Amino acid sequence: MTINEAIALAAEHTGENVGREEMIAWLSQIENTVVTEIAATHENDTSDKTVITDMTDGDRVLFAPDPYSILYVNYLIMKTDLALRDTTQYLNSSHAFSLSYADFADWYNRTYMPWGESRIKI
């Protein structure tokens, strides 16, 4: 999923209530969280695990692959609901985001070995 796709999908659910710059800032937050909390703790030679500072390229592909990339859309919806002070919608969207984030983390943990040594000595 690209930055533009995530913003467009979130806007379908929430409308154009929040500006593009704010959504890009939120995407940067969640992308860096995914990279530092999940990817950087695992062995995976195919990914760039550095903190992303430039999210201005709308065609940039986000780290989490499909079908787990829905976590970006859920995050944008959740942050929009929070910004609009819609408590009921925020509770629903935060739950949806938590589930999608956990699904991605679980998949990543199953797919890639974590960094570190075994604590069991034989």
Residues 67-117: pLDDT tens digits?
999 999 999 999 999 999 999 999 999 999 999 999 999 999 888 877 766
Q: Output 9 or 49, whichever has higher pLDDT.
A: 9
Decide: 17 and 89 in contact? Cβ < 8 Å: no
Q: What percentage of the chain exceeds 90 in pLDDT?
A: 57
In the chain, helix, strand, coil percent, each to 5?
60, 5, 35
The predicted pLDDT at position 57 comes to 76
Q: Output 40 or 71, whichever has higher pLDDT.
A: 71
